[in-house]
Amino acid sequence: MKANILLNVEVVSKKNGRRHGLVKSLVVVNHVIRYLVINPGGVFSKAQFFKPENILDVNYKRLVIESEKVIIKAKGQKVKDYLDEAFPLMDYPVVDKNKESFGHVVNATIEEGTFAITEYEISRSFFDDIDHGFAIIPAEELTYKDQVLYYEKDMYDLGFKEQGTGIANKLLGVK
């Protein structure tokens, strides 16, 4: 499953049909999704998040959980306790072994059941994405440290999987 399926979908309780808000962020620790963060709306609302194991069903419009009892509501320092050593998945910066920034995370492939991330899709630049599509990097080649994902190779060593990527290739047949 792709990570973007879990974002910007409405969270609904199966038990009573209550709507809790939209999933705004995926929190990752050691290449595993630990929490989904809900934006319930409202200025003074507490942070709300839940573990991915509590997902009963998901599609592009809504995500169903058993009941609101699985939602963790916290504020301030409590949120930091839950999310220590974690990073939000999308738009996270990626640097190479020379500490050169070369892109950011735009999506990821998630194993169903374990919620482990097997590979990340990295956008390097608008024009490179048009020509080649996103770079796909296996999770084991990236390390989280100091609020950055480190790629253990040089940024020019990115391999492309056969995925029919690149807008120019898809739309115009350019190779």
What are the tens digits of pLDDT across the range 46-90?
778 899 999 999 888 888 998 889 988 877 666 666 666 666 778
Number of H helices, E strands in the chain: 3, 14
Mean pLDDT across 21-35: 89
Domains of the chain: 3-87 (2.30.30.240), 91-172 (3.90.50.10)
pLDDT of residue 81: 65
Name the pLDDT band for 99 (thresholds 50, 70, 90). confident
Query: In this predicted structure, what is the pLDDT of residue 166?
Result: 56
* pLDDT, position 162: 43
Assign 148 a pLDDT band (cuts: 50, 70, 90).
Answer: confident
Q: Is 64 left (phi over 0), alpha (psi -120 to 50) or beta?
A: beta
Q: How far is CA 34 from the centre of its chain?
A: 11
* Mean pLDDT over the full length of the chain: 79
Task: Give the residues across from 36 on adjacent strands.
Answer: 26, 50
- According to DSSP, residue 85 is labeled T
